[in-house]
Amino acid sequence: MKRLVMAAVVAACVGTVGPAKADDKDSLTGTWEWIVHRGGKAGVAAVELKQEGDRITGVMHGRNGKDMKVENGAIKDGRVSFEVPAVNPDGSKMVHRYTGKLTGDTITGTAEIEIFGRSKTSMKWLAQRYTD
């Protein structure tokens, strides 16, 4: 009987642990607004992130309704990094690389945009989590 009660207690505790929610300040899971400053202008994007352990995945909602996958994402000790591959209107490939520090509902860091074969640009990056 003791084992049955203990198993029920363990199952109840394990059942309460699940995917991180947007209100979990230590998790990236949720919807974010990103602001990247380049050439005196600010670019804004909405991004949905999902954190599972130290792995980050998600979708960046780009211009003209074009969605781009968040890839190679990781978080460790509040340090965040991931990439968002994309294609320019002229067909050339590019990648956005983000690195930053998570503090509550804010990420601050650096965004690097590389257009393969042509240029690489680095700029400041700020992300704010949408809250209800």
Per-residue pLDDT tens digits for 50-92: 999 999 999 999 777 789 999 999 999 999 999 999 888 888 8
Instruction: State the CB neighbour count (10 A cutoff) for residue 49.
Output: 25
Angle CA(94)–CA(62)–CA(27) in degrees, nearest 5? 95
pLDDT band at 109 (very low <50, low <70, confident <90, very high): very high
User: Of 1.10.3720.10, 1.10.10.410, 3.40.50.970, 2.40.128.30, which CATH number belongs to 19-129?
Assistant: 2.40.128.30
Helix/strand/coil for 120: strand
Instruction: State the CB neighbour count (10 A cutoff) for residue 59.
Output: 15
Paired strand residues for 95: 85, 114
Closest CA to 73 of 93, 94, 58: 58
pLDDT band at 132 (very low <50, low <70, confident <90, very high): low
**Neighbour-count burial for 107-119, b at 16+ CB within 10 Å, e otherwise:** bebebebbeeeee
The pLDDT assigned to 39 comes to 73
Question: Mean per-residue pLDDT for 15-42?
Answer: 66
The better pLDDT of the pair 1, 128 is held by 128
Determine which helix (DSSP H) or strand (DSSP E) holds 11, and give its type and residue range: helix 2-16
Q: Is the pTM of this model over 0.85?
A: no
